[in-house]
Structure 1
């Protein structure tokens, strides 16, 4: 895989049983690139390792006054220099390619998982951790993949140098063969402590990132209540904790780096002292001493690769563990088989939730009243096929008799679209905002009109600088922060209407607008979605009165079905939610004639 071939057509199915297994899986996917990098690394390191041999030959040729051998040594040094230069360039090229392609693979896996889970992702994993995984953790995983081939090449060269010196100069070679492995393994006892300190730093950095994200997202509200200084102080304290943890971690890594400098120096002193004595005794020649000295001096370079791989693994293993934890999340953990089910959902299929008993008949506008806003949000997620936490033993939501979690993700997303109560607007022009996968049956202009976005279009037209007053070409700031809450909500609604899914689920789509606008939006939704399945979770009478049928969900179960006016007349629990009546007011209302009528009607609807 080359950088020009990115992105991957299919990033694969990762092994997410543990962080180490995930790193091994990434390494296997990069096997071809690792082999290339290893071969170029061997050329580079062997060229460096051969330089002392060429220098030793040249020195000995001068001592022996042999011009032929001196010329041969010069040619050998030129060839070794070319090998070092070529190997270094190509090693860097292939190693960086491995880094970028591995990071791109992890990014694609995370993007695919994010698209699969949708808004549920941040309910299962903290927002700060998601940011850390998709930024810093991806880089650390790529770093390990890049360093792996350099380490392998350096390890092979160290073994080759030690073996060659033992054969070439046994007396000095034995010292080197014992000393080099000691140098390579000397930092291992310090790695666990260094890793723990690095983990503490990353944990504190993740919390600081999450605090910063929350503060920026809520800055408008914080300024309204005068709380920005309080949160700024909290972020300052969190950032100072990150700084102290980083310094604490850096001290340990500095100690490891110092050991990697000091111990090779000690070995070099030992080799020079012992070799000088051997040369004085006539047991080795001057050229042999130069060769051994140069070989030992240049082992410092491959030994640095040992230190680097230790650091890369220590940093990347926790990062891979976090990435594997995110990638291991699934839409649901239950597999459901429906009696007589099978096939795919077709047009006209009812949306049915076995957990609550809620049924939304195909082609109708169904409103759902739930007294608990949090429960309404969970129900909306469940209707979209991605509950925050799958309920053990409960069947998935069915569309046309087929469980949503048994459908391919693309099919499920096309069939059901859920807009939560706090939708996000991405930065870009209004035309780009409304350029979403859709059936093509609803024009952007019609969707904007149904969502009553006239004032939004006027505001965007006035804000345009170089677009000639065209609101469709005006850029919307990040998350639409330049717009009011009601304007953002209506633009998000227009985006959902443009998509024109088979089933549209809206959670409180008009909670941020005034009553007059709400009534017009309700009429727009009912008109544009006529003949299509629409489910709205709301408690506003203006929306409920537009619905073809209303379902009351009480304590996790659908307990009454009818029109808005029918439920107002016969269902006290419904009136309590919709009209905000107190317990005393409810007690003064005469009881309905037959309390079983609603249950019988509900059973008939669910049959």
Structure 2
């Protein structure tokens, strides 16, 4: 509201003028009847009709530009909410996506943000309705004190009743949005893994899972729709009864001669006019009920705990690339001590995949160690800004996705401006991928690289990581989907292109480990051995089992 206060004020003011004009229309008609028709005053009739024309012109302009300001406020507020949500989800400190599927986050950033943004329009329309009710009540008080008091006292009661009947709608709207978001998350999850599901013949299980989730979402939506219908029906019934009561009392007053014919027409016209503002207030209550549910979900994402501490320091310039792990304990890791000198190519073999994931999380600062510290050039990573850490230490995950675009665009996205990506393409074997494609390196790549094979995707993702030319590069199983010849070429290419910079290869590939300066074996969460690849193959049974089997 605060961010859109200008449009809210403008929209409310113009809309209030529109509603005041609407309320004055039956009053002017009553005046025309009393003076122009009942008394036969021709000039009074013409003046009254001219006044009606002016009022209609003013209220039309007020509605048009007031509604425009309100819609602009709603769309802008929703956009700002989406921007904040995306910023929080992508924040270097992380944590917003914990326990939420990507499709669920998308639903929150679209549907929930839209509902909460619409509150600005709801507030504007609520003000319009209240102004209309106030003007109608004042006019009715001037026509007849009983009628005016009836409106002034009855309207708050109707508002209170509308608020009460909106409570079930709020609860059911929250459940509806939760189920819908979960269904979206499951759908996105299934689409992302469709190729794998087909490969293992698991489509029926995936379909059954989504069907169950979708059925739950439909049930919640129908419950919310029923609650909405009941709320509308109850409020409409109460409003109709209230307007009928106003018309009945006005008719009795006219029969007794307490008010004129024109005043009776004005009173009945105002009673009919009241249907609009009271219906609008009912709509506003429903919008607020649904928006409160969505606001709670947005607030939960924005207030999510950070995955890592938001340090403010920056790495030394230039970054030397010295990595030090001091008694690091995180996940399955236990008291891991490791020193990596600048320019070293280090191989890491973890017999338990959980150890590899924990190590990658700490090095990329996606998580902070539970104990010990990870240092870059003698500075603990917890003292550094997470974004700055990732600028110095690039962790290329095994399952890295490609973006929709061209092969060249995917690789160049990570490279410094104006850098030559040719060496990165050659070192990763991605130049062979380009040669095999219809349009070479300019061949379009579909979302997540699904138009490429697994091995092609791996090589392009590795080329992107190499093109970034980070001071410290950590790669995780970068060649599991390629043949032995290509794997050996990649090993030599990575060694050559990364000469003089720190490189950590978390892998069980013999070809990659053979080009490393040294290899660390992690067993049961601890460093079990630190030697060359040849020495470990000769001396460690566990290493041979992990690498050569």
Q: What TM-score, normalized to structure 2?
A: 0.91
Please state how far the C-alpha of 1:124 moved relative to its aligned partner: 4.1
2:91 to 116, 128, 150: 116
- After the TM superposition, which residues 507-546 of structure 1 pair with which residues of structure 2 at under 5 Å, given as runs? 507-546=476-515
CA deviations on 1:109-162 (whole Å, 9 max, x unpaired) are 222223324987545423332122122212212222332222233224323432
1:267 aligns with 2:267: no
Q: What is the match of residue 15 of structure 1?
A: none
Q: What is the match of residue 333 of structure 2?
A: none
User: For residues 437 and 89 of structure 2, what CA distance do their matches in structure 1 show?
Assistant: 30
Please state how far the C-alpha of 1:476 moved relative to its aligned partner: 0.7
**Secondary structure of the equivalent of 2:213?**
helix
1:53 to 27, 35, 39: 27
1:219 to 174, 190, 194: 194
Cα distance change, pair 43–412 in 1 and its aligned pair in 2 (3 A): farther
Contact 1:169 1:288 survives alignment (8 Å): no
User: For residues 36 and 302 of structure 1, what CA distance do their matches in structure 2 show?
Assistant: 19
- After the TM superposition, which residues 316-335 of structure 1 pair with which residues of structure 2 at under 5 Å, given as runs? 316-329=291-304, 331-334=306-309
Please state how far the C-alpha of 1:320 moved relative to its aligned partner: 2.2
Cα distance change, pair 506–291 in 1 and its aligned pair in 2 (3 A): same
Comparing 405-414 and 279-288, the one that deviates more: 405-414
2:466 to 494, 497, 505: 497
Q: What is the match of residue 345 of structure 2?
A: 365
User: For residues 416 and 318 of structure 1, what CA distance do their matches in structure 2 show?
Assistant: 40
Contact 2:94 2:307 survives alignment (8 Å): no
Contact 2:173 2:293 survives alignment (8 Å): no
Cα distance change, pair 360–55 in 1 and its aligned pair in 2 (3 A): farther
Contact 1:345 1:399 survives alignment (8 Å): no
Cα distance change, pair 183–331 in 1 and its aligned pair in 2 (3 A): closer
Q: Give the root-mean-square deviation of aligned CA atoms.
A: 2.6
Cα distance change, pair 533–313 in 1 and its aligned pair in 2 (3 A): farther
Please state how far the C-alpha of 1:272 moved relative to its aligned partner: 1.4
1:375 aligns with 2:350: no
Please state how far the C-alpha of 1:100 moved relative to its aligned partner: 1.7
**Secondary structure of the equivalent of 2:412?**
coil
**Secondary structure of the equivalent of 2:90?**
helix
Q: What is the match of residue 90 of structure 1?
A: 65
Cα distance change, pair 437–478 in 1 and its aligned pair in 2 (3 A): closer
1:288 aligns with 2:260: no
1:547 to 511, 516, 524: 516
1:138 aligns with 2:113: yes
User: For residues 164 and 548 of structure 1, what CA distance do their matches in structure 2 show?
Assistant: 91
Q: What is the match of residue 302 of structure 1?
A: 277
User: For residues 310 and 223 of structure 2, what CA distance do their matches in structure 1 show?
Assistant: 48
Q: Which runs of 5+ in 1 are unaligned?
A: 1-26, 462-468, 581-607
**Secondary structure of the equivalent of 1:30?**
helix
Q: What is the match of residue 64 of structure 1?
A: 39
Q: What TM-score, normalized to structure 1?
A: 0.83
1:207 aligns with 2:179: no
Contact 1:385 1:396 survives alignment (8 Å): no
Cα distance change, pair 445–202 in 1 and its aligned pair in 2 (3 A): same
1:351 to 323, 335, 345: 323
**Secondary structure of the equivalent of 1:434?**
helix
Contact 1:434 1:495 survives alignment (8 Å): yes
CA deviations on 1:59-97 (whole Å, 9 max, x unpaired) are 222212233332332222112211221122112211121
Contact 2:173 2:290 survives alignment (8 Å): yes
**Secondary structure of the equivalent of 1:305?**
helix
Q: Which runs of 5+ in 2 are unaligned?
A: 329-335
**Secondary structure of the equivalent of 1:482?**
coil
1:567 to 518, 526, 536: 536
Cα distance change, pair 272–120 in 1 and its aligned pair in 2 (3 A): closer
Please state how far the C-alpha of 1:441 moved relative to its aligned partner: 7.7
Comparing 560-569 and 521-530, the one that deviates more: 560-569
Q: What is the match of residue 157 of structure 1?
A: 132
User: For residues 222 and 570 of structure 1, what CA distance do their matches in structure 2 show?
Assistant: 41
Please state how far the C-alpha of 1:537 moved relative to its aligned partner: 1.1
